[in-house]
Chains A and B, each alone.
Chain A
Amino acid sequence: MTTTDRHIPDRLQSPLQTRLKSWETLLLVVAVAIFIANSFASPYFLNAWNLSDATFNFTEKAMIAFAMALLIISGEIDLSVASIIALASTAMGAAVQYGAGTPELIAIGLGVGLLCGAFNGALVTGMGLPSIVVTIGTMSLFRGISYIVLGDQAYGGYPSDFAWFGRGYVWWVISFELVLFAVLAVIYAVILHKTNFGRAIYAIGNNPTGALFSGIRVARIKFILFLLTGLMSGVAAICLTSRLGSTRPSIAFGWELEIVTMVVLGGVSILGGSGSIPGVVIAAFVMGLVTFGLGLLNVPGIVMSIFIGLLLIGVIALPRLWSRMRRA
């Protein structure tokens, strides 16, 4: 109880030192290496418009990945995100048939996203169900509703000004989506790394019981994270629908796994408790660059998935193998 003159320092390492040794730095090196390799491999790579086109490979997925990162850090997961896109897009498509304009479409897209997120969140936090199963269920349900509404048909005829969200450019080669991606990256980085809310997310992900025992409102925070993930799926639905100009029930099929891959590749622990938004941003670029670079070399998308799969397992396995070999 007596205050001693022994002084405990705040930190032993400066935050910069810690950052240099981090996952994000390693990933950045990988990204730069891929960039350089690509620019040697194809003469078409270092072209502003080509590079700009390449960003569409990841911007929409990354928007969801930011929210998903928060959710996974908190120890939950949402596999229904791609289905939320389908449902939101279907709802927007249906609204167009009743003459809705662009503002209404945006409200509908965001609204459906929020509703779906609230539904997931209520089932997980309200009833205490495992999120992986719940969202496998809602993944079928949400897309299933799109199939009921659309069957093998498609919605089109979106208003012409609606196309700007997916195809518009803010300045020169900088697309609206890229700007939105950057803005959202900053917002999510601030939420996760600079606010009480973000601190609580880490606490919950590391030890939900301990967080609860520290007076954190665990259920409420998780519910909000499901809402956010739903909302971001709505945003992505608006961008994607706008870019494609039509809605089929199979829209964004399989995206949930690509988004989870992006988040895990970005250094977020699938078990919760650690990860960062900068990591996810770099992972988005890595995946975009790989897809784009191999595309320029005429390697089909499915083969790239081998690379992504190996990357996903490799980035987790190699450090573990390395530490095991060092111990032995």
Chain B
Amino acid sequence: MAGAAPTPPGDMMQMHAKDVAPKADPAEAAPLLALDGIVKTFPGVRALSEVELRLYPGQVTALVGENGAGKSTIVKILTGIYQPDAGEIRLDGRPVHFPTAQDATRAGITAIHQETVLFDELSVAENIFVGHAPRTRMGLIDWPEIRRRAREILDGIGARIDPDVKLRELGIASKHLVAIARALSVDARVVIMDEPTAALSQKEIEELYELVETLKAQGKAILFISHKFDEIFRIADRYTVFRDGQFVGGGPISEVDHDGLVRMMVGRSVDAIFPARTSAPGDEVLSVEGFCHPTEFDGISFTLRRGEILGFYGLVGAGRSEFMQALFGITKASAGTIRIGGMEIRIASPADAVRNGIVYVPEDRGKQGAITALPIFQNVTLPSLARTSRKGFLRLAEEFSLARRYTERLDLRAASLDTEVGMLSGGNQQKVVVAKWLATKPRVIILDEPTKGIDIGSKAAVHEFMAELAAEGLAVIMVSSEIPEILGMSDRVIVMREGRMVAELEGDDLSPETLVRHAAGIAEGDTHA
């Protein structure tokens, strides 16, 4: 689950945001849903500390904050997945508790989660009604009614999807529409949308906006979580900002502007985050030509030089990670050639990729990047055991020394090198993964969403060592969905949409507007930004 393990605030300085943000004026209307003093801690991490949130009927409240700010945690509390440690939730002024997801649903709160949490093997119709299926008078599940209503709801959101087909037959965008249909299938008063447009095409996004307007008109209170500022200013009536698990401000959207919102989110000005870089790319290291996959991506070609940072931008589900994983040998490409230093190579497994100097820092640290139940030093030395061992026998002293060299270089914070990686914060886990790869002395390092779910202090550190790695001659590929990061770090940017390369941008062509336009597939001059 994305954001299931929030990161700690780290050691970043507390900014004086309270005097920037006007406090919401609660006097104008009674909120439908009010949260006060909500606290949620996980082992070692305070994910939310005494946050407040107000949702008003017939209004869209945008919840804004960086990754790890606590947005997903508050959504999970509202939907009964997590229980708050302290604080109060009031619905219509009455205190309520949601011990399970069904209690939240019954109270009229429904959510479209960031990642589609549905059932591949069940039909579309059943997915929409799992847990609250209509019954016949005998108490049995009423299939004709389920099909009829599913059809009705899908038609209502303009989704041309057969309710009888199994969910696994659908593509990622269609699955998302099913998730939206599911949220609408309950007669909800509060609708939570957690980055609902992240994986949708422009046309589908427009349809979603219309839907939001309809829901508003019906008097529903909507919590809208988004990273896209143009979207927030277009559809939100109010805003609330979280930073590092704390409430930093909120109010009518008309009282704030773009820069003010960013300052509240980040706690400082955006330009200062990224290290200054003088890019002087050297010889060509990697060249990829005509990379294809039957279902995930098509026709990817580019070159990469020493000391260069190449950004890959696109919406969630644009096929960037899928391509990177094929390049790293996890999945098989159906066509295409790879050259390293001019020599054509074949990559059939990650072991091949590592041997050829290509390493990959995946987006999903817990599942793919680190082996969280093993200690730090074992994670770091895993791909380098051939070097630290003698004739296949482990030499712990060598392992500790190798692990120490690379973790200290990245300024890892840990109690000991024998600590389980799972006990570390997101930022430090990321350092362990990067250290693991640096120890193999790679030529190309691929970083997939390197700062996702990492607190701001560690983020700056990650950016800094990326810049240093490039300066030392490593070729860096960075996949990121965050425009500031893409703009602040990349020498060159490739934009992907629906599995294809749609633009390669450099220098003056690089701007937030062009990125968004290419990623979303909007024609020139048709942008709202």
Contacts and interface: CB of A to CB of B under 8 A. Distances in A.
Interface stretch (A168-176, A189-197, A288-296): A189-197
Interface in A193-217: 194-200, 202-203, 206-207, 209-217
Interface in B362-383: 362, 367-374, 377-379, 382-383
A214 B371 contact: yes
Given A213-B350, A217-B349, A199 B408 contact: no
A203 B385 CA distance: 12
A41 B464 CA distance: 70
A8 B330 contact: no
A199 B371 CA distance: 12
A47 interface: no
Contacts of B119: none
Contact of A216 (B374, B382, B412, B415): B382
Contacts of A211: 371, 382
A325 interface: no
Contacts of B349: 215, 217
B370 A210 contact: yes
Contact of B418 (A11, A194, A213, A217): A11
Contacts of B351: 215-217
A3 B409 contact: yes
A215 B414 contact: no
A210 B369 contact: yes
Contacts of B355: 215
A10 B371 contact: no
Contact of B377 (A10, A197, A274): A10
Contacts of B464: 1
A210 B411 contact: no
Given A10-B417, A210-B369, A210-B370, A194 B350 contact: no
B400 interface: yes
Nearest to B359: A215
A8 B417 contact: yes
B394 A199 contact: yes
Given A195-B394, A203-B371, A214 B350 contact: yes
A196 B419 CA distance: 20
Nearest to A212: B350
A1 B409 contact: yes
A198 B355 CA distance: 21
A206 B420 CA distance: 12
B362 A207 contact: no
A220 to B, nearest CB: 9
A128 interface: no
Given A207-B373, A213-B360, A214-B371, A8 B468 contact: no
Nearest to B378: A199
A199 B383 CA distance: 11
Contacts, number: 112
Interface string B392-414: 11100000100010011111101
Contact of A12 (B372, B382, B393, B415): B415
B408 A8 contact: yes
A202 B389 CA distance: 17
Taking residues whose C-beta sits less than 8 angstroms from the other chain, chain B's interface range is 35 or more
A9 B394 contact: no
B497 to A, nearest CB: 26
A2 interface: yes
Contacts of B373: 206-207, 273-274
Contact of B416 (A10, A198, A202, A215): A10
B24 to A, nearest CB: 38
A9 B411 contact: no
A10 B415 CA distance: 9
A213 B368 contact: yes
Contacts of A203: 371, 374, 378, 382
B470 interface: no
Nearest to A12: B416
A298 interface: no
B39 interface: no
A87 B330 CA distance: 38
A4 interface: yes
A9 B368 contact: no
B417 A214 contact: no
Interface string A206-239: 1101111111110000000000000000000000
B408 A10 contact: no
A8 B411 contact: no
Nearest to A203: B371
Contacts of A200: 382, 385
B386 interface: yes
B418 A12 contact: yes
* Most chain B CB inside 10 Å of its own CB: which residue of A195, A209, A210: A210
B428 to A, nearest CB: 11
Contacts of A3: 408-409
A115 B365 CA distance: 39
B445 to A, nearest CB: 13
A10 B404 CA distance: 8
B33 interface: no
A4 to B, nearest CB: 6
Given A3-B408, A210-B371, A215-B353, A196 B330 contact: no
A195 B436 CA distance: 19
A184 B417 CA distance: 32
A199 B412 contact: no
Contact of A8 (B382, B385, B386, B407): B407
B416 A8 contact: yes
B394 A213 contact: no
Interface string B413-433: 011111100000000000000
Interface string A265-276: 000000001100
Contacts of A217: 349, 351
Given A9-B416, A213-B330, A197 B350 contact: no
A205 B379 CA distance: 14
* Most chain B CB inside 10 Å of its own CB: which residue of A1, A207, A209, A213: A213
Shortest Cβ-Cβ A-B pairs, 7 listed? A215-B354, A11-B418, A196-B385, A210-B371, A215-B383, A207-B371, A206-B373
Given A1-B465, A199-B382, A206-B372, 6 more contacts: A1-B468, A8-B407, A10-B416, A12-B418, A213-B368, A214-B382
23 contacts: A3-B409, A4-B411, A10-B377, A10-B404, A10-B416, A10-B418, A194-B394, A196-B385, A197-B392, A200-B382, A202-B374, A206-B372, A210-B371, A211-B371, A213-B328, A213-B330, A213-B362, A213-B368, A214-B436, A215-B349, A215-B383, A216-B350, A216-B382
